[in-house]
Amino acid sequence: GVSALGGYETVNWGKSVLSDGSTLHNGDAFIYGGALSLAADFYLTDNFALGVNLKERFIFGNNTGHFRFGYGMQLKYIF
């Protein structure tokens, strides 16, 4: 699958100085991007299925990184 994402990222609620006196150089920003995902279900019996998924997100507009990888596994009971 393919999806789009967008949002607003806030860093330290808009304050540039932390409680210990450190200064942040990154500020608030609008972020945008997209994602590619792959999911599959493997039926173990008539009532149980094992699901796996992979997702790669591409995020732009921030300074912390542009690519985020995620994965998951689930056991489903169908009644």
The one-letter code for the residue type at 58 is F
pLDDT at 47: 94
Mean pLDDT of 26-42: 91
Rounded distance, CA 17 to CA 25, Å? 9
Domain range list for the chain: 2-77
pLDDT tens-digit profile of 47-67?
A: 999 999 999 999 898 777 789
User: pLDDT tens digits, residue range 3-27?
Assistant: 999 998 887 777 778 888 888 777 7
pLDDT at residue number 18:
83
Q: Distance between CA 60 and CA 56 in Å, rounded?
A: 13
